Structure 1
């Protein structure tokens, strides 16, 4: 659809938020991904070992003040042209552009399809965000690894990765609220994790936007060094417990695979 309402963002440009407390985003933790994916626990061990260990680790993180959660996010005017998403400046001139792959079969979707085409004469809006839980937790996991405390290392590392994802989900919900597209959000976390809401959050490196070099464009727009996040020469985010995303408001946006890998 190209006639869906374009929401009005609360501001243009970027904002930095630091000092986000663990209690604000811990409830967004995907426990299945943590227990089964990161920790490798069977169903039988989740209740007897997984949840007690999780509670103890979260209490420790609160007490030791290891987390430094921060977000830089922004809203930018944009239009699409073919496979390109063109970010505009306030005068309507091109600031930068992303070129996304298109599906070779099926609906032949491309991420650019979810934005107003340039020839429509309308201007759309795209959200961008980078979140991090900081470098201290990475330093702590490195200390455990060097001390040969491998179980503790794997548990804390897995939790830190999932907490970064939880922070990203929490902030995406904030973005939906700011754009006024949150009224159909599900009540429970399960529905949230199944993306049963309007819009979608696409992280760089995933099937719809596989080109990691695009991270440099996001970094140029958001300047994530303001929250302690930098981009390596291999286009990896540091600290590791950080994620970036392109946030799309279109009601038909969803995850899809283009078959292109980078």
Structure 2
């Protein structure tokens, strides 16, 4: 599916023909950061993503811990810009968590739970 986004749906790489090894080595243009990984450590954003895409209509659901079902499912945010690069969110400070909580409309305590592995302080 990832390759079809570039070659067919968005069409910015219509003649791209990458084998599995090249795909695994990320030899394509753009990035696909996924919730729960270093560039997007908060798994809870999957809830809004699933609502936006109406994922249950095609049989996809989320567990209470935000794992996707069926287990072979994947999700991510596609960025096609040629200068897009993967990155990792480092440790975040208390004021950053407070700002994030406000922007997400959740309590600071909830944001701390959602970002626990990235906290740069003891909550």
> Does the CA contact (< 8 Å) of 1:186 and 1:192 recur in 2?
no
> Does the CA contact (< 8 Å) of 1:184 and 1:198 recur in 2?
no
Cα deviation, 1:116-174, whole Å, max 9, x if unaligned, reads xxxxxxxxxxxxxxxxxxxxxxxxxxxxxxxxxxxxxxxxxxxxxxxxxxxxxxx1111
CA distance in 2, matches of 1:240, 1:258: 25
Deviation, 1:196, is 1.2
Mapping of residues 150-165 of structure 1, within 5 Å: none
Deviation, 1:252, is 1.3
- The residue number in structure 1 matching 2:36 is 205
Deviation, 1:186, is 5.5
Instruction: Return closer, same or farther for 1:238/1:187 CA change in 2, 3 Å cut-off.
Output: closer
> Does the CA contact (< 8 Å) of 1:199 and 1:248 recur in 2?
yes
- The residue number in structure 2 matching 1:180 is 11
> Does the CA contact (< 8 Å) of 1:200 and 1:253 recur in 2?
yes
Match of 2:57 among 217, 221, 226: 226
CA distance in 2, matches of 1:245, 1:195: 14
Unaligned runs of 5+ in 1: 1-170
Instruction: Return closer, same or farther for 1:197/1:173 CA change in 2, 3 Å cut-off.
Output: same
- The residue number in structure 2 matching 1:250 is 81
> Does the CA contact (< 8 Å) of 1:185 and 1:198 recur in 2?
no
Deviation, 1:183, is 5.0
Normalized against structure 1, the TM-score is what? 0.32
> Does the CA contact (< 8 Å) of 1:231 and 1:237 recur in 2?
yes
CA distance in 1, matches of 2:15, 2:29: 7
CA distance in 1, matches of 2:61, 2:17: 34
Deviation, 1:255, is 1.7
Deviation, 1:218, is 0.1
Instruction: Return closer, same or farther for 1:189/1:237 CA change in 2, 3 Å cut-off.
Output: closer
How many residues end up aligned between the 2 structures? 92
CA distance in 1, matches of 2:25, 2:18: 12
Q: Which runs of 4+ in 1 moved over 6 A?
A: none
CA distance in 1, matches of 2:11, 2:67: 32
